Chains A and B, each alone.
Chain A
Amino acid sequence: MAAQRCGQEAHLALPGLEKVTQFEGAGSKDHVPGQLTSLLLAPCSYFLYYMIVFFQSLISGILIGGVYALIGIGLTIIFGVMRVINFAHGDILMIGMYMTYFLFTVFHIDPFVSIVITIPLMFLFGAFLQKVFINRALNALPQNQILLTIGMGLVMSNTVMLAFTSDYKILTTTYSSSSVEILGISVSEPLVVSFAITVAITAALYWFLYKTDMGQAIRATAQDREAAQLMGINVKRMSIIAFGIGSALAGTAGALISPTYYIFPQVGSVFTLKAFVITVLGGMGSIVGATLGGVLIGVAESVGGVYIGSGWKDVIVFILFLLVLLFKPSGLLGTSKD
């Protein structure tokens, strides 16, 4: 066991080195010229591999991070307005994925186009959840709210399982594994598109929250629920809208990763925990923070996966999370309210 792990560590430390040594051993008799060149090029190629692996992980981290950001923004809006930790967030995302899947397989609508349908539907779904369930528990103890959303998540994922079985659904588009190569680094095309859509949606959301009356009202509610109520803002209505927006964003994120990921009823749990980490990292309720947090987590996972081992990805993320909680509890960009 120990030997096995040692071997693994050696690879982690020196990617590319194996190749060189192996070449020397294997080709020493019949390929003398080859060996010479390889010896000359060894330090050079070692460096090149090193750089390629690094940038590869950095870029895919940033691109994946864009989608994470969208999930995080959704959660942060919900938390900001309601102070409710929504543990069903990943399951809402899962509903968005199934919606995208059926729009694609039944109506042949491209996932990136179908968000036009997914967004309003998911908004209504979220608003419904808020009106029927969460609004009843707004004054409950926080642990009860958490368990309520956990229960809702279980109901969602298991209803989907009964309806569509637990089979993995794979959504294959013509571009699902397409990539462009830039300087030896391959960049996934669907990820680039989804990143661009994320940026556009985030920008639109900003405009909505800062430039429209309703957006201002939502922000006021998030800042101080009671004061907002005194100022005549319909807080319950704002909560419904906020949960709707949060769900629409989670659903969109689901739609955007569908072409490059897979879909099954329990897929949400992967994203729920990530969403929290992102939100806390950026500062609960801060949209810029969540955007930054998403990208940060994407990069931490990707780069950490290369240099520490892909099995440790989650540990890296959680340790980062605890550090931020302890040393800057208001989040990287949040303003302290205490």
Chain B
Amino acid sequence: MNMKSLTANIRGIATLPLLLTVAAIILLFLLPKFVTSTYALHIMILIFISVIMGSAWNILGGYTGQYSVGHAAYFGVGAYTTMILLQYRHIAPWYGVWAGVAVAVATGLVIGSICFRLRGPYFVLASIAVAEIFRVSALNLPGLTNGAEGILITEVPPFKIGNAVITDFMSKVPFYYIGLVIAIAVILATRLVQNSKLGYYFQAIREDQDAAHSLGINLTLYKNAALAISAIFTSLAGSLYGLYVGFIDPGTVLDLGLSVQIVMTCIIGGIGTVLGPMVGAVVLVPFSEALRSNMIAQALIDSGLVKEDSPIGTFLKEQLSHAHVLIYGILLVVVILFMPDGILGFIKKLLASKRKETA
């Protein structure tokens, strides 16, 4: 199945998909010119961050088969480094972000050299434990992280080259473009990895660690390489989140729930594919926002399908927003039981069975 999807992807660099991709990118770059709603931009930025996190995890989890459920650690380390440097050392974020990346990669390598000795469920548990250690430590080291009170920045300093102000970060547009560029970068990186020798090593490790080892592939080295690439982008996502939201605390950027969400984005979209995390993010982010803000219930009422004062209407209005995590949970169970290869895998299977019917 993997060889097949590999060859399919290599052949996938045909002209039509390439044109479509370029068109999509151009469209996304032009979007802020037409869309003035900051709320729409906000959702788009959240989608970009989710794409970055998901794709970054995908390199380690999807291609190398190391299912880390502790990626919040790299997200949080990136966010904290950038924010601490900005807030307490007055170091501008475009330097701080790279410090964040360096710290995240360094922690990643330390964690990796410890945890990669473990396999299967043990690795999963160890990755959770490490992320939890980071969360609790951030809570208990107020001198470094300001503890439970979190770090609140009032503004991001303007980005200047020489004396020319490139952007002052007062609107969402600069964050939109930064998010978009990093998202494109991580997708390019995934593509490069997929088709390189490195990628073949990663996938060999995913398929059978022992076989890969006997072929002379250095397991520790390549697992750590995958983790390092993954940590770079996860940390960038964390820094972008911190600067954009302007507030971080251990409960939001180092939370186990965040780690789960990262994995979920990939699994729902389709694990080990370039498009999977994108599909996952594009489905999950607007969906959870619509549930949180009760937009779905409101839409049902506005469309006249459900009367506002009918029992169903009041139930939807009062309860649906309470139920958003419940619906999330049900979605998770359904996807795993009935579409174990995610939405992409499900669509492929549907197409394949249709093709069989016609043939």
Q: Which B272-326 residues have a C-beta within 8 angstroms of A?
A: 319, 322-323, 325-326
Across-interface contacts of A161 in B (CB, < 8 A): 322, 326
Q: Which A258-276 residues have a C-beta within 8 angstroms of B?
A: 269, 273, 276
Output the residue of B125, B132, B137, B142 with the most chain A CB within 10 A.
B125
Across-interface contacts of A326 in B (CB, < 8 A): 114, 117-118
Q: How large is the interface on A (under 10, 10 to 19, 20 to 34, 35 or more residues)?
A: 35 or more
The complex places the Cα of A329 from the Cα of B139 at a distance, in Å, of 29
A137 partner, pick from B260, B331, B336, beta carbons under 8 A:
B336
Asked if B17 is at the interface (CB within 8 A of a chain A CB), the reply is no
A143 partner, pick from B67, B328, B329, B337, beta carbons under 8 A:
B67
Q: Which A101-154 residues have a C-beta within 8 angstroms of B?
A: 133, 136-137, 140-144, 146-148, 150-154
Q: Flag if B122 contacts A325 (CB, 8 Å).
A: yes
Q: Flag if A315 contacts B133 (CB, 8 Å).
A: yes
Asked if A179 is at the interface (CB within 8 A of a chain B CB), the reply is no
Q: Flag if B136 contacts A154 (CB, 8 Å).
A: no
Across-interface contacts of A27 in B (CB, < 8 A): none
The complex places the Cα of A276 from the Cα of B124 at a distance, in Å, of 11
B326 partner, pick from A154, A325, A329, beta carbons under 8 A:
A154
Overall SS of chain A's interface = helix
Q: Flag if A312 contacts B140 (CB, 8 Å).
A: yes
Q: Flag if A312 contacts B263 (CB, 8 Å).
A: no
Shortest Cβ distance from B68 into A: residue: A143
Asked if B264 is at the interface (CB within 8 A of a chain A CB), the reply is yes
The complex places the Cα of A232 from the Cα of B125 at a distance, in Å, of 33
Across-interface contacts of A159 in B (CB, < 8 A): 326
Shortest Cβ distance from A2 into B: residue: B143
Asked if B30 is at the interface (CB within 8 A of a chain A CB), the reply is no
Residue tally, chain B, CB below 8 Å to A: 42
Q: Flag if A136 contacts B326 (CB, 8 Å).
A: no
The complex places the Cα of A130 from the Cα of B9 at a distance, in Å, of 38
Q: Flag if B129 contacts A318 (CB, 8 Å).
A: yes
Shortest CB-to-CB span from A144 to chain B, Å, is 5
Asked if B240 is at the interface (CB within 8 A of a chain A CB), the reply is no
The complex places the Cα of A1 from the Cα of B141 at a distance, in Å, of 10
Shortest Cβ distance from A320 into B: residue: B129
Asked if A314 is at the interface (CB within 8 A of a chain B CB), the reply is yes
Q: Flag if A142 contacts B132 (CB, 8 Å).
A: no
Asked if A309 is at the interface (CB within 8 A of a chain B CB), the reply is yes
Across-interface contacts of B69 in A (CB, < 8 A): 143, 146
The complex places the Cα of A2 from the Cα of B69 at a distance, in Å, of 34
The complex places the Cα of A273 from the Cα of B61 at a distance, in Å, of 21
Asked if A255 is at the interface (CB within 8 A of a chain B CB), the reply is no
Q: Flag if B333 contacts A133 (CB, 8 Å).
A: yes
A147 partner, pick from B122, B263, B322, B330, beta carbons under 8 A:
B263
Shortest CB-to-CB span from A130 to chain B, Å, is 14
Q: Flag if B333 contacts A322 (CB, 8 Å).
A: no
23 sample A-B contacts, Cβ–Cβ < 8 Å, listed by A number: A85-B125, A143-B69, A143-B263, A146-B121, A147-B264, A148-B332, A148-B337, A151-B330, A151-B333, A153-B329, A154-B328, A155-B333, A159-B326, A162-B326, A269-B256, A276-B125, A276-B128, A311-B136, A311-B140, A314-B133, A315-B133, A315-B140, A322-B130
Using a CB–CB cutoff of 8 Å, the interface residues on chain A facing chain B are 1-2, 5, 79, 83, 85, 133, 136-137, 140-144, 146-148, 150-155, 158-159, 161-162, 269, 273, 276-277, 280, 309, 311-312, 314-315, 318-319, 321-322, 325-326, 329
Q: A148-B337, A322-B114, A322-B129 are in contact. List 16 more A-B contacts (CB 8 A).
A: A1-B142, A1-B143, A85-B121, A85-B124, A142-B121, A143-B67, A144-B336, A146-B124, A147-B332, A148-B332, A151-B331, A151-B333, A154-B325, A158-B325, A314-B132, A319-B133
